[in-house]
Structure formats: structure tokens, C-alpha cells
């Protein structure tokens, strides 16, 4: 069994954003300088490889991601001894907590789906072994559950166009998770000169707006803030 120092866990949405923008080389470059593992769960693999390979319009993205897995750029959690049953059990617990926090007029609001929950489950297992880790997740709702839970109700009202009530204020359950977006990863790739194109700040702008257009929940204001970190 491989020993693990630290890990970056990828949610399905982030991998799809990366694949749709053809940023596979940049992820390979990041992996080459990262002293740890890029991990996915079986649940995420089903979302980004297994199921899309059966759908003609998604085959290319799935094959790109499969190539990353075949080349061990990204690896399954089992490679490091985290069995899928443990991840499944923890995922169920996490979904039960997250999906009972808010209520719409008709039913509880689903904040997390299985793939997302499995990333949190794996992160929890890593935390218990004192292995540093971060989850790459582009979906705004899941990130706000960790970063700004106090603003989540207002976001859900705008998103679902209905009244939302807070049922359980159990946000402390999620306080130990760390999340980033594909945008931050791509910024690091640009900063480390891992992108083939060499057009300076114009390239960074193009990269950030590209991931925004393909599913990364990042605002134009947030993009401008990232660009200010360029240290030119």
C-alpha cells in the first residue's frame, strides 16, 4: 500500500471543467510538482468516466479523464487503503446531515449529491489520519456550506425561487473541510509557468473565464481579485 503525505481530492464537476477546457496538460504539470496524490472516489469515477463513456456527446471528456486515471495522474482512493465501503458509509452520513439543514415548502433541500458527499467522506477519513488535504469543488452551494454557511439560505432562495427555511443549524459538522476551485488550481498552473501559451495576464484572464464558462462558480469580481495576486 502506498504511503500518503497529502492529497488533493477532485469532485466530478471540477474534473469536467478541466476536461472541457482541454487543461489536462496543466493538471499533469501540477501533479509533477505536487508532493502528494490527486485522488478521486469510485462515486466520482462513475460520474466522470463510467457513465459518460456510455453517452456519445460526453465520450471525449470521459476518455480524457480516463487517460489521467490510466496514467496515475489521478488515482482512486483505494490505492492508498481507503476502501469504498467506508467512503460509502460516511457519504450517507454526510448527505443525511447536509440534506436536512434546509426545507423548501415541499421537501428538504438537497445540498449535496453522492459524488460531492464522497469527496467530503474521503476528506474526513484523511483528516482522521492527519493527512493534509483539500477538495477541488466548483459547485457554489457545496463550497458555501463550508465557507459561508450563514449566507446559504439567501443563495438557495435566489437559486430555487422559493421560500427556504433553516431546519437545523448543524454547520459545525462541516467546519474542518478545506475547499478550492478549479480556478485556483489553474491560477497555480499559470503562476508556475505550466501553461504552454505565454501571454502573461491576458492568458490568466482567458484561463479563468474559460473555467467560469464551463461550470466553475466564480464571479467576475473574484477573477479580478485573483488577477491582482499576479505580482507582476
Pairing of strands 6-10, 132-136: parallel
At 231 the pLDDT is 52
Q: What is the mean pLDDT of the chain?
A: 94
Residue 232 in this model has a pLDDT that exceeds 60:
no
Residues 6+ apart with CB under 8 A from 83: none
Judge whether 201 lies within some domain: no
199: pLDDT confidence band, cut at 50, 70 and 90? confident
Judge whether 162 lies within some domain: no
Judge whether 223 lies within some domain: no
Residue 230 in this model has a pLDDT that exceeds 80:
no
Residue 107 in this model has a pLDDT that exceeds 70:
yes
Q: What percent of the chain has pLDDT over 90?
A: 90
Q: Are 36 and 6 in contact (CB under 8 A)?
A: yes
Phi, psi for residue 102 in degrees, rounded to 5: -125, 155
Distance (Å, whole) CA 38 – CA 72: 9
Orientation angle between helical segments 182-191 and 12-20, nearest 10 degrees: 50
Chain segment 14-64, per-residue pLDDT in tens = 999 999 999 999 999 999 999 999 999 999 999 999 999 999 999 999 999
Distance (Å, whole) CA 230 – CA 207: 14
Query: Residue 80 is part of which domain span?
Result: 6-96+115-148+178-182
Mean pLDDT of 189-205: 91
* Widest pairwise Cα distance in the chain: 52
CATH number at residue 29: 3.40.50
Radius of gyration of the chain (CA): 18
2: pLDDT confidence band, cut at 50, 70 and 90? confident
Element (H, E) at 6: strand 6-10
Judge whether 131 lies within some domain: yes
Residue 136 in this model has a pLDDT that exceeds 60:
yes
Mean pLDDT of 203-222: 95
Judge whether 70 lies within some domain: yes
Residue 9 in this model has a pLDDT that exceeds 90:
yes
At 7 the pLDDT is 98
Mean pLDDT of 159-168: 91
What's the whole-model pTM score? 0.94
Residue 158 in this model has a pLDDT that exceeds 60:
yes
Judge whether 214 lies within some domain: no
Nearest to 48 by CA among 14, 1, 5: 14
At 185 the pLDDT is 96
Task: Count up the domains in the chain and report the number.
Answer: 1
Judge whether 204 lies within some domain: no
Judge whether 143 lies within some domain: yes
- 193: exposed, middle or buried (Cβ count in 10 Å: 0-12, 13-18, 19+): exposed
Q: Report how far Cα 27 is from the mean position of its chain's Cα atoms.
A: 14
- Could you tell me the CA-to-CA distances from 147 to 6, 174, 180 in Å, in that order? 21, 9, 10
Buried/exposed 142-171: b ≥16 CB within 10 Å, e otherwise: bbbbbeebeebbeebeeeeeeebeeeeeeb
Higher pLDDT: 76 or 196? It is 76
Mean pLDDT of 127-152: 94
162: pLDDT confidence band, cut at 50, 70 and 90? very high
Least confident residue range of 82-96, 108-122, 130-144, 191-205: 191-205
Amino acid at each position: 500500500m502506498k504511503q500518503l503525505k497529502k492529497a488533493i481530492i477532485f469532485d466530478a464537476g471540477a474534473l469536467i471543467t478541466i476536461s472541457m477546457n482541454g487543461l489536462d496538460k496543466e493538471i499533469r504539470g501540477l501533479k509533477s510538482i505536487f508532493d502528494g496524490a490527486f485522488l478521486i472516489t469510485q462515486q466520482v469515477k462513475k460520474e466522470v468516466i463510467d457513465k459518460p463513456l456510455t453517452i456519445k456527446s460526453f465520450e471525449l471528456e470521459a476518455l480524457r479523464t480516463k487517460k489521467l486515471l490510466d496514467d496515475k495522474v489521478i488515482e482512486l482512493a483505494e490505492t492508498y487503503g481507503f476502501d469504498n465501503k467506508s467512503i460509502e458509509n460516511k457519504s450517507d452520513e454526510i448527505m443525511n446531515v447536509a440534506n436536512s439543514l434546509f426545507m423548501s415548502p415541499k421537501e428538504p433541500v438537497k445540498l449535496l449529491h453522492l459524488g460531492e458527499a464522497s469527496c467530503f467522506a474521503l476528506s474526513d477519513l484523511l483528516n482522521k489520519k492527519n493527512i493534509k488535504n483539500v477538495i477541488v469543488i466548483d459547485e457554489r452551494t457545496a463550497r458555501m456550506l463550508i465557507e459561508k454557511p450563514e449566507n446559504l439560505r439567501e443563495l438557495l432562495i435566489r437559486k430555487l425561487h422559493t421560500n427556504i427555511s433553516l431546519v437545523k443549524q448543524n454547520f459545525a459538522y462541516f467546519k474542518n473541510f478545506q475547499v478550492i476551485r478549479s480556478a485556483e488550481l489553474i491560477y497555480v498552473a499559470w503562476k508556475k509557468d505550466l501553461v504552454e501559451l505565454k501571454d502573461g495576464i491576458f492568458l490568466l484572464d482567458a484561463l479563468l473565464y474559460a473555467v467560469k464558462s464551463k461550470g466553475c462558480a466564480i464571479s467576475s469580481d473574484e477573477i479580478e481579485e485573483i488577477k491582482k495576486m499576479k505580482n507582476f
